[in-house]
Structure 1
């Protein structure tokens, strides 16, 4: 950071916007840019500030220029500002010229980066460009695995550094007439601080052409259940702890896979683990096609539904695309569409007063609005509500042929036989059915899924489907599961009975329990009970993991819980914990 006299001498105005806002192109300096930067450094730090002697070459370089990188912000053809980053592999940092490392209150390791030479040229001083450059440097360090940033900054503009999370450590140095303070910040602290001025970042992002090999903002991962693994041990050394916890925050099947699945895996596991699977999942595709009554060319395999969502949506859609989803619904869709791709996403609201049922008239009207994609989860999660196949098919026939309609049927087998739209999709111009084998076949750990659609929808996707996309044990497990439909039909009937029994008991606590048809229940907590976030934390201490549903839609509110259906004994254990934490009271 070092000599920042090039910043505005009015630090209070750093975060204000001028009347005429510039548009910047922010990127990594190439060899030609670096030569221009060396000349600019000479003009500013030698001629303007007098911190270096003027030289005949008219350029300033130092030893760090052989290892550091520069980020530049251009306004039109000219460099408007730049900042330098020194990586941990450098033989030294700029701060070494002023301080002995042994005297500093922090360690120098492979996660510490130095940011220096934050420079803004006239006429861009006094604008937000300094903030943009600092943020870009922070993102560079974060994206390269750094955890801390060190630098020196001019004391009179220390407000800027503090605002972005860099704090003085109590040491200073003098260079000419300028006083510099040594500053340090953690990436965690910097990330938290940037959240405080996110409106500014949003406006800067809108007027910045970002040309770095990572996004302007670090993409947040989609929030899922699965916190229970923290209690088991994420390095799998204490798997026996699974007997002590209840993982009702995920929707894994309560029953084991079909006997043929486990028998085959146990008999051949060493060979299955060391052997490459069929490259294109041909045997699995043929088995799926036969089981679903479609042709093999109607099937595209994937390593779980998330693999298909991420792979396919990024191939079909761009930031200019318009998409419709339900609200509430499975959170992966809004995450991929809005945070990964950047689509414009509209939501079809589902009302609690109407049991979160999909209004088919409103859906039909929405389908006429020329969306690029409409994504429907049926049965929906977290509500567990289903639109019967015949009614949904009638509505889908009204959709424009160029609007793709994606139907996620992860839980459809729980709705009963004959409810899947796979045959309809196989003969359709624009309907695609996504099927996970995780929840209804007890194969969540195997990661096997597929799409069923007209061959014309899948041709281009085959070109971006990796070979061996599903592992051999998973392919074998999926084939064996499909060969025993009677076993699973019996488990689905048991699941319905377990779900209804659990719902009755939860209602005795005053909970408002939605009558879903899958292997989970959406519940609204009573006003005199803990809210969802509090209940999740309290239950976790008792070994019960629940899902706070608030993030799954804008209409659920802070008292919504999604709870998985388990076997009868485990359901009784859950109810015992919940009766202690939420004694019976008034209605939700």
Structure 2
């Protein structure tokens, strides 16, 4: 970035040749300016930790503008311990704790963002080296900057010379969340800073999904019983259990299933899908859920010069893979909030004729739940140019009705591919089973890219048994619709008026301008163990008050509504929560 009139700011790992300049600046600031150390005749200042520390420097026109030091846990001691004994520290130190220290900026650059860049660089260095916790002594004058990175004050103050420090800590996970929530700022900085570190400025991106509830359960799986006290409505898993036939097969044969290699090419699974969908086995390509199929197919079909059309809003994995992983050109068909995010088929048909390599339709769409009827969509698809592939994601189609699926249509077409996951409609999210249904010539190249045993044996067995019990699942879909209608009515009763009339196992809605933002609702809800999803990132114009939650069982739905009632009520926290179902 341009640092006023000084030129570009370069951020790099310090070399031994940089040490004299660093030590001179340390002396100038901490001895001469702040009086924390005695003035030295050499005009240089270092300490015993420097042999094990690393320095990150900021340079402007090859001249030192600032630096920060990081102490790794392998050194065995931290600078903080010069002021506070380890056993008195209000924080546990372990093999994943790093210390950020002596953040220093030359006087000429103190009104620039050099300090901010150095802090971010230190965070990325710690993250790349497996750190989990960062401790520091922050100058009281700039505590706001540390806190903007998520730092927590540990209520321990240290006075050294003319400077007062506060002992602070933060976690790499908190810093990562900061980076996600301030992505636009960090993206801008990445384009302006001359980054010369030996790791990327930005951690290789992952698509943001729901699933924050696992923070409450524990990602280490040693406290799974906590699932009983949280509501995981930020993901769209089925609220009902799998078919009794699924559970019976898994329970009866579990020991054998988990230790046995499955059919290498999922032959039995493919045959079962083909039988129950009315297509041939040659029309089926198995995968470990839809994400596996998306990554595998798109990276084979597309390149940086490809043109793709997607809906806006829609499932975020598509934009992520296309733009962040492949880097191709992505155009968006913006759906109107005023029209409740319905897809205008005439506009879609016109856009498709503009010449795309791939068109992606999620139907019913996510996060809106809006569905395009099969009759209208088939008519449109017959007009698509043969050189344009159309990918139809039917993750939630069975909630609308199995007869609405385009699988048979795709199997007989030249350029239509249907992507199905058995996660959401068969209550098999933990199993990761999916498949593509298309003409054999669309799947032939992908077959050679499909690894053997792509779906585990318990998952293959569960999927086959689920397909054999359509009556059970039809009853669950009927109950889901009833629960969704009740939730829709109850939302209106608590003051949520703009609800998208979707047809899947979730509800999306907008709060009005006098109500809290989506992030405020989510933060408050998490405090009582209720997890809902802010869907703002899934579209370009959803605003800051667009939320979505999965339909759950009756008791969980009541908890969701009680929590939302407290969050959106004009009476605030004092509102008495009563059942609204």
- Structure-to-structure mapping, 1:287-436, within 5 angstroms: 287-309=272-294, 323-334=308-319, 345-371=330-356, 373-399=358-384, 403-426=388-411, 430-436=415-421
Picking from 246, 270, 287, the partner of 1:285 is 270
1:517 match: 503
Deviations 1:111-131 (A, max 9, x none): 33244687999x999975664
Q: Name which of structure 1's ranges 447-456 and 65-74 shifts more when overlaid on structure 2.
A: 65-74
Q: Indicate how the Cα distance of structure 1 residues 447 and 114 shifts in structure 2: closer, same or farther if over 3 A, else same.
A: same
2:249 match: 264
Q: Aligned-pair distance for 1:435? A: 0.8
Unpaired runs of at least 5, structure 1: 1-14, 55-59, 174-178, 584-588
Residues in 1 aligned to 2:184 and 2:349: alpha-carbon distance in whole angstroms: 36
1:39 match: 17
Residues in 1 aligned to 2:46 and 2:481: alpha-carbon distance in whole angstroms: 73
Residues in 1 aligned to 2:57 and 2:40: alpha-carbon distance in whole angstroms: 22
Q: Indicate how the Cα distance of structure 1 residues 514 and 318 shifts in structure 2: closer, same or farther if over 3 A, else same.
A: same
Q: Aligned-pair distance for 1:462? A: 5.2
Q: Indicate how the Cα distance of structure 1 residues 163 and 364 shifts in structure 2: closer, same or farther if over 3 A, else same.
A: same
Residues in 2 aligned to 1:575 and 1:183: alpha-carbon distance in whole angstroms: 39
- Structure-to-structure mapping, 1:59-98, within 5 angstroms: 68-69=53-54, 85-92=70-77
Residues in 1 aligned to 2:109 and 2:512: alpha-carbon distance in whole angstroms: 56
Q: Does 1:145 align with 2:137?
A: no
Aligned alpha-carbon RMSD (Å): 5.5
Residues in 2 aligned to 1:540 and 1:440: alpha-carbon distance in whole angstroms: 26
Q: Indicate how the Cα distance of structure 1 residues 270 and 181 shifts in structure 2: closer, same or farther if over 3 A, else same.
A: same
**Do 2:83 and 2:158's aligned partners in 1 also have CA atoms closer than 8 Å?**
no
Residues in 2 aligned to 1:576 and 1:119: alpha-carbon distance in whole angstroms: 50
1:473 match: 458
Q: Aligned-pair distance for 1:451? A: 2.5
SS in 1 for 2:95: coil
Residues in 2 aligned to 1:384 and 1:171: alpha-carbon distance in whole angstroms: 58
Residues in 1 aligned to 2:442 and 2:279: alpha-carbon distance in whole angstroms: 15
2:36 match: none
Q: TM-score, normalised to structure 2's length?
A: 0.71
2:169 match: 186
Q: Aligned-pair distance for 1:88? A: 0.7
Q: Name which of structure 1's ranges 545-554 and 229-238 shifts more when overlaid on structure 2.
A: 229-238
Q: Aligned-pair distance for 1:358? A: 0.1
Q: Name which of structure 1's ranges 181-190 and 363-372 shifts more when overlaid on structure 2.
A: 181-190
**Do 2:262 and 2:457's aligned partners in 1 also have CA atoms closer than 8 Å?**
yes
Residues in 1 aligned to 2:40 and 2:432: alpha-carbon distance in whole angstroms: 62
Q: Indicate how the Cα distance of structure 1 residues 360 and 112 shifts in structure 2: closer, same or farther if over 3 A, else same.
A: same
Q: Indicate how the Cα distance of structure 1 residues 518 and 546 shifts in structure 2: closer, same or farther if over 3 A, else same.
A: same
SS in 1 for 2:332: strand
Unpaired runs of at least 5, structure 2: 29-38, 570-575, 577-581
Picking from 414, 422, 425, the partner of 1:437 is 422
Q: Aligned-pair distance for 1:376? A: 1.8
SS in 1 for 2:404: coil
Residues in 2 aligned to 1:169 and 1:434: alpha-carbon distance in whole angstroms: 58
Deviations 1:440-462 (A, max 9, x none): 22222322112334556556655
Q: Indicate how the Cα distance of structure 1 residues 429 and 172 shifts in structure 2: closer, same or farther if over 3 A, else same.
A: farther
